A and B are shown apart, each in its own frame.
Chain A
């Protein structure tokens, strides 16, 4: 009997007990769907995180004044010497692995165009900032050296600001007011998308460092030349740790911090921060997938159970098939194919369910849908394997029946 005939016979048998077949399949459906959904959603999240790291700027170290990263009492004014633009220059000059070192100050303020206004984050940046943070232009140009030097009233707009104030179209040459100071827009930045949850990186306006210092962020909180953040991008990702040590050494020396004294600054590897979150999420995903695969095993046991019932119920049928010429192998294959068919059907339905879930989750979370075809193929193969494994015993039991006894049974 050909495989095709066997499949047809098994479909007929499954159709006779449709409800039972569907319920039996359910365990496999849920197991396969859960495993694939976990892996696929995980892959989508991973891709999103990769994109975020890309957006943060690759191999970026962030140096911030103060001994503690997130607030705290140690950052009291005067107790810690602030970073300065000279520190930035020194880092770039003394550490050859540093590709770009950028000073940046930051504050919030209102931007007004005509009768529209928008509150945003204003960055005072220097020439290296665009490179260090991986920003690209959507239109217009970057600041010119003279503009940095003179503190010109020119601005680059982030994508969100462009959308809020201008909608779309060319913004180069437009006049805007930032904190009531008139500026000319010289360019717009390419969108980076959200990063670190709700923080919208594109909701930003950039002006030359000196301009911000003088007119926007005020001298009261910042001494001239003081820098809130220094962004350092490193050419070689493997050199990150080394560069971090070098930076510490250079800055301690420059700030005259004695041995045993605490740093007055902190260094953060932004890629590492994101990666740590990814790792946590992946462990969680793997746990979920492990739980889901338990349901596959449970589903397999359910199939074995139903196949055993089916073999008992159909003893007479088995006897008859043997009487008219079915060999033991034919009976064995018939029930094995039936179990595998159940599992494969369950697996296929599970895949459809998983893809539906994945697309839904990706839609809500704004992730890309990354179907992991190897996992899909493995899931199908695994379903078939479950069918063979858990179908083998009932099938062998069926094939081992004595035709005379089987024909006599009720």
Chain B
């Protein structure tokens, strides 16, 4: 049974007075432990797809199941819980809280999970150690390099032990070498069993994944499984 299952998902947006069809009947299934890249030109619907899969939004029609639970018609409060418990987000712009220590940034999801303070610190420390930043816990984002900031963001995504990591252009704000480091980190996390979905428009980035979904005009136009993993670079 697939971990993530989308069936005939439609999503329209109202831009001004015009309705824009962002997704036009997308069906896809992703298993637990997969590493998937989502590619496509801007306006292809890949971001909408990510938002829906990430439970930030609901489709107009069709169904999305996550871990056997139909999330496509949950209330916004229930969606918040699903995001909190099952999904870790990584953004292009890191989205760390300024003037807040790396530790507190990482612990943020735990705050909303109702975890008490002592355990928050322990688990945030562990998450920082997993991304190799155990010694930067008290640094604020401004004191960290871009790569380090993205690692803090990844630690934040991992802290609640999610089932799935969703990364939206995670290397977009980083130089090539740092971007590769981040992608290798994703790879390692995936090898440890985590489901990873990365949205990107860079082929090199997409190559880290074993499966590539290509979007165009609100539809998945190709779904390729890369048997020979590219471990070079």
By the criterion CB–CB under 8 Å, are A404 and B112 in contact? no
Interface string of B150-175 (1 = CB under 8 A from A): 00000010001000000000000000
B57 touches A325 (CB 8 A): no
* A324-B84 in contact given A12-B100, A16-B99, A407-B95 (Cβ < 8 Å): yes
> Whose C-beta in chain B lies nearest to the C-beta of A322?
B80
Cβ of B81: which chain A residues have Cβ within 8 Å of it?
325, 327
Query: Cβ of A330 and Cβ of B95 under 8 Å apart?
Result: no
A326 touches B112 (CB 8 A): yes
A contact residues, total (Cβ < 8 Å): 22
Please give the residue numbers on chain B whose beta carbons come within 8 Å of chain A beta carbons, in ascending order. Answer: 51, 54, 56-57, 76-77, 80-81, 83-85, 89, 91, 95, 97-100, 108-109, 111-114, 117, 156, 160
In the bound complex, CA of A330 to CA of B80 (Å): 10
Known: A12-B100, A328-B76. A323 touches B89 (CB 8 A): yes
Q: How far is the CB of A303 from chain B (nearest CB, A)?
A: 22
- Which residues of B lie under 8 Å from residue A319 when comparing CB positions? 95
Closest 7 CB pairs of A and B: A325-B84, A325-B112, A324-B109, A327-B80, A320-B95, A327-B77, A403-B56
Kindly list chain A residues whose C-beta atoms are within 8 Å of the C-beta of B95.
Answer: 316, 319-320, 323, 407
A58 to chain B, nearest CB (A): 63
Q: How far is the CB of B149 from chain A (nearest CB, A)?
A: 13
A330 touches which of B99, B112, B160 (Cβ 8 Å): B112
Residues of A within 8 A of B (CB): 1, 5, 9, 12, 16, 316-317, 319-330, 403-404, 407
Nearest A residue (CB) for B104: A12
| C-alpha gap A329/B81 in the complex (Å) | 12
A321 and B51 within 8 A (CB): no
Which residues of A are found within 8 Å of B156, using beta-carbon distances?
324
Please pick, from B51, B57, B98, B114, the residue contacting A1 in the complex, using a CB distance under 8 A.
B114
Interface class of chain A by DSSP: helix
- Decide if B80 touches A325 in the complex (CB within 8 Å): yes
Chain B CB within 10 Å — which of A317, A326, A327, A328 has the most?
A327
In the complex, residue of chain B having the shortest beta-carbon distance to the beta carbon of A329: B77
| Nearest B residue (CB) for A403 | B56
Task: Enumerate chain A residues within 8 angstroms of B109, measured Cβ to Cβ.
Answer: 324-325
